[in-house]
Structure 1
């Protein structure tokens, strides 16, 4: 159902919109009747959005945000801007710090009405971790150039097709015993749709949310070991989890070719939860949804015999527990 919105008919440029969160943000804006220009190095990755848009409502544009001419072209005629650019490799300070600052400066000069910069919990311009430092520099540069921008700092984002729950879901399906890195690290997983709604609301009301920073986390804090246990239970599988000592985890992350980098391990160990004093979903008028609302349904694909064996497997687990 279309939503009545100040964004109806407005042109919103989304930088980095072909990533995971970008798909959700685009859908949230399309339903509000906004016109979207999705600017990315690989715009072809957003082809699946085309059936969701009306004629002329979606434009896919190649864009390298480190090239001023590309950014200027993407901003041409735009009334609102969202920056979703994020990465774990390359020059992260340039990609997530300097480039967004230049982007915000150009947007300010062009009279853009609202600018939403999506950062991350743990962003810190003085951090020794490249990712956190890049995100922190980005916040400073964006607010310095566009003081009424809204900064959103989500925790780890989950969704049906994410690379977080599904990575662990596949491993738990296959392995009877699974090592857990950072088993006691607390995460406040946040639903992708809720993050997208926060972006849209911030764009709609810069007079209310501009110049503020919001930390976005779900309604519960879970440790890594608890997340693994919940995924196993949703699959109807009995699994053993081994707590990996921090020293071994750090050594593993430092090895080449592993699925987790040193920076990712350091960020995981620190956890990702909303600071008690931070503005959050409540200040945006959003009630975030818990992981448990979706997990049983999403783990159907990993259950033995799928939905047909689900009830039987859960009954066996209850009896054995």
Structure 2
């Protein structure tokens, strides 16, 4: 399969930027649709990457975006939905279930047969959180579109990736902890015993870019996880040590964690919601039975110091205040 042009849906964010970079390095033309093109100026600088102002929820727009496209990557995902409907809210339904349906319909109309879909580790229709249930429903939609690998019978050659939490320069994971540790004299922590297997964004991007023409990955689902499991409390303590800002961390019981999460969910860009806590009731780890071929992920300890510790000279006065308890 010769690959010349890829449509990267949901590509204007953290993960999309890394994948676009990997594809650009290979000389592949990448089209990234965005509602606001001006918000993605950093991606415009990448050679072979083209930003298009478009609404991907419009079915006809999707069809037009797929002209001459060899493959589609869908990264669209949201973490919060204020709608408490069951099994998941309207925003989760639109982003994680309805949009994959529209993408597949547009692919069929445009004659595109290759799709790489980002799900989430733990996604299942009976998962404890609305986020994971909607991601599971989206997976089911994508799986239903699979046909015999390489067949011309109308089926789609699909690869599904299910990453754990993703870290790396520019992430909203460890960087969020770092920001909170600098701002708060005491950090209240909900779900401190929740277990994660963080994966490096560079490894995730390599998997997405590398699988596109690898026929052995067609029809497969892969967990993308790092080499080590941590509790959330261990990750917070590690971040604290890296940025040189020691704070008291207060582990909250559920009786306090859920009310706090409800308050935090009212913020414009909430760091936590009750649904996030429900997701954390299920360990975000893999048994290793669905590893990507040749998977040798980098460790947190090998990468995180390079981007968290690098801010220490610039933040030395903040560190003095941290150490002084102010």
Q: TM-score, normalised by structure 1?
A: 0.85
Q: How many residues align?
A: 299
Answer yes or no: is 1:246 the counterpart of 2:254: yes
Which runs of structure 2 are paired with 1:119-268 in the superposition (5 Å)?
119-127=119-127, 129-147=129-147, 148-205=157-214, 207-255=215-263, 257-258=266-267, 259=270, 260-268=272-280
In the other structure, the counterpart of 1:59 is 50
CA contact (8 A) 1:149 1:210 kept: yes
Alpha-carbon distance, 1:242 to partner:
1.4
SS in 2 for 1:153: strand
2:63 to 53, 68, 72: 72
The SS at the match of 1:136 is helix
Query: What is the CA-CA distance between 1:137 and the residue it aligns to?
Result: 1.5
Name structure 2 gaps, 5 residues minimum. 82-89, 148-156
Q: CA RMSD in A?
A: 2.5
Specify which of 17, 33, 40 is matched with residue 39 of structure 1: 33
TM-score by length of 2: 0.84
Match of 2:298 in 1: 289
Is the 2:24–2:30 Cα contact (8 Å) retained in structure 1?
A: yes
The answer to whether the 8 Å contact 2:128/2:279 transfers is: no
Distance (Å, rounded) in 1 between the aligned partners of 2:308 and 2:198: 17
Write the distance in 2 (CA, Å) between the matches of 1:124 and 1:155: 14
Q: Is the 8 A contact 1:92 1:131 kept in 2?
A: yes
Match of 1:319 in 2: none
Alignment of 1:266-277 (within 5 A): 266-277=278-289
Tell me the SS of whatever aligns to 2:189.
strand
